[in-house]
Structure 1
Amino acid sequence: MRHLSCLLGVWGVLSILPAHAAPPPHVVRAVASFTVLADVVAHVGGTHVSVTSLVPPDGDPHEFEPAPNDARVLRQADIVFMSGEGLESWFGRLAHAAGYRGTPVIVSDGISLYTPPGNRQEEADPHVWNNVTNVIVWADNIRDALIAIDPADADSFRTSAAAYVSQLEALDRDIRARISAIPASRRRILTSHDAFGYFGRAYGVTFLAPQGLSTETEASAGDMASLITQIRANGVTTYFMENATDPRMVRQVAHATGAAPGGELYAEALSPPTGPAPDYITMMRHNTDLMLAAMRPH
């Protein structure tokens, strides 16, 4: 009788289990060049994608120095995402060291690029993500690339991308509405380097910066003098640091003009998870909040 009870107990347990255990879900191993892009890939990929950012939080994507572990991560990737347009100048060296022979997905393909007026190098501004509508293009490109490599999860990628794009559209409308309430004459911001060109064009803000498009460039004495004159003429009273750049030049300009610190902007790197900009949407809201506080009449 005891044997019968044991058998019935085992049968009861088996009867509540599925007839065939579901196989573990396939997870695409994705690598993104820097944190802002990694966050967008994670939102589009959802549970079907594991994302690693090569450049860490608060890291400078212009001057990143890859480590041996980055080569290992790259070799193991199923798919690699880059923004492109000259941002990741270090990637070729890393790919060579890793023996990586794949073709990265350039998520900025299809975005209308702009070259700042008077830029001596005549290079396009690579900081496309500071206009939210450009990140919608990113999301579409990421979705299509993930579907190509993992067609079995295509419906999930389409659903995740659509949900994220809806959030981005709402963010874009909110930024436009809030900044449009500020008089145009007050929409001027002093920051470390020229990373907000797309933000300025999209939302009607003028940015002044001692450095050019890349943190690898150095401003000349003439550039600094011209910038100081421009700031005084325009009545800019607040300056901003950027989380991934050297603050010395902008502090020098601020000292010469009397501008006061307005906080830290996140131009091209997210903060760690416990910081004020742990994801792209939060980053854009954080930056907008600080800019609005500086531009409003005091």
Structure 2
Amino acid sequence: MGVVALVLAGLPTPAQAQAAAASAERPRVVASFSILADMAREVGGDAVEVSSLVGPGGDAHVYEPTPAAVRQLAAAQLVVVNGLRFEGWIDRLVAASGYRGPVLVATTGIRPRMVYGAPDPHAWHDPANARVYIENLRVALGRLVPAQAAAIDARAAHYLQRLDAQDQRLRALLAQVPAEQRRAITSHDAFGYLAAAYGIRLASVQGWTTAAEPSAADLARLMRQMKAEQTRALFLENTGNPRMMQRVAQDTGAVIGGTLYADALSPPGTAADSYLKLLNHNLTTLIAAWQPPVARTP
């Protein structure tokens, strides 16, 4: 029977069957959210099959596990989580799934930034911390697939080279912006590590979680701070509600400078569909908002 006949009969072609067999043989790695999943794919390559519980555009702060997530976790050979209290739902989900395999806490070895008496979980926004994530993934994936350990090591090394090159390029761009101009307002306090790494002053309407709305007093305090510091740039976040920031812009006369990606990647084929693209998008969007407007010729 030819390939066309196989397709018409609803049967897999030899190539499809081979691909399915190869996929079935690869250990399943389940990451808690899209940014971790991307890092795991970069390091693991074709040695593992990676999926995420919270996909691109999803908000892990308010995620509600589903029966499909329980089944996904039950079939995993490795679970990767951020830690630092980012996934408040993960322990319940692991218990419900009956998963008994290894759980990699990707932030192991990172000294967290403390906010409101709790660790800020958004550590990936500092490239120095991302290096720790990558190293932890390298070790865990090498243990999961020992026969592929050398290839995993090589992919991790190449990934780190790309990260370092991008970090240097972004620092060179940012150096063109005077330090006193590097001020902005974001929806919630997810970019503290980014600000500390790159010498940026950021304030936020919400705390580090999106689960609670800010009070009227919080908004009033923020608007006073914006006026005192002459902060004119506001930024939306891809998983947030834009109405709150639009209100702040209307009440203060500030300008919305674009959308930043905090806790999730964008859909495949778009501006921030990988960790490296997310980092690049966030910083170049900030830098563009701080540049003086180009004078129009009459």
TM-score normalised according to structure 1 size? 0.88
Is the counterpart of residue 154 in structure 1 residue 154 in structure 2? no
| Residue matched to 2:119 | 124
| Residue matched to 2:16 | none
| Residue matched to 2:82 | 83
- Deviation of residue 250 (structure 1)? 2.0
| Residue matched to 1:98 | 97
SS of 2:259's partner is strand
| Residue matched to 1:179 | 174
Indicate the larger mover: 228-237 or 137-146: 228-237
| Residue matched to 1:270 | 265
Unaligned residue ranges in structure 1 (runs of 5+): 1-22
Calculate the aligned-residue CA RMSD, in Å. 1.6
- Deviating runs (4+, > 3 A) in structure 1? 23-26
| Residue matched to 2:18 | none
Is the counterpart of residue 54 in structure 1 residue 49 in structure 2? no
AA aligned to 1:191 is T
SS of 2:61's partner is coil
| Residue matched to 1:14 | none
Is the counterpart of residue 107 in structure 1 residue 106 in structure 2? yes
CA distance in structure 2 between the aligned counterparts of 1:284 and 1:36, rounded to whole angstroms:
11
CA distance in structure 1 between the aligned counterparts of 2:213 and 2:53, rounded to whole angstroms:
25
- Deviation of residue 24 (structure 1)? 5.1
- Considering only CA atoms, is the larger Rg found in Structure 1 or Structure 2? 1
CA distance in structure 1 between the aligned counterparts of 2:174 and 2:64, rounded to whole angstroms:
37
Name the one with the larger strand percent: 2
- 245 and 24 in structure 1: CA distance in 2 versus 1, 3 angstrom threshold: closer
- 70 and 24 in structure 1: CA distance in 2 versus 1, 3 angstrom threshold: closer
Indicate the larger mover: 233-242 or 156-165: 233-242
Structure 2 residue corresponding to 1:188, chosen from 159, 179, 183: 183
AA aligned to 1:82 is V
String of CA shifts for 1:219-278, please: whole Å, max 9, x gaps.
222211110001111222221110111223222222211112211111110011122111
Q: Is the 8 A contact 1:132 1:171 kept in 2?
A: no
- Deviation of residue 190 (structure 1)? 1.1
Q: Is the 8 A contact 2:36 2:81 kept in 1?
A: yes
Equivalent residue pairs, number = 273
Unaligned residue ranges in structure 2 (runs of 5+): 1-20, 294-298
Indicate the larger mover: 95-104 or 157-166: 95-104
